Amino acid sequence: MSNSSETIWLALSDELSTWPDAAHGKMMSAPAVTRKGKVFAFYSSKGAAIGIGFRVGRNLDPDTLGLNAWQYLSPFKTKPPMKDWVIVTDEPADKLRELAQISYDGLG
Per-residue pLDDT of 53-66, as tens digits, reads 999 998 888 889 88
71: helix, coil or strand? strand
**Residue 36, helix vs strand vs coil:** coil
Distance CA 43, CA 13 (A): 9
- Compute CA 9 distance to the chain's CA centroid, rounded to the nearest angstrom: 9
For residue range 71-96, what is the model confidence (pLDDT) as tens digits?
Answer: 998 888 888 888 999 999 888 888 99
Q: What is the pTM of this model?
A: 0.88
Asked if pLDDT for residue 2 goes beyond 50, the answer is no
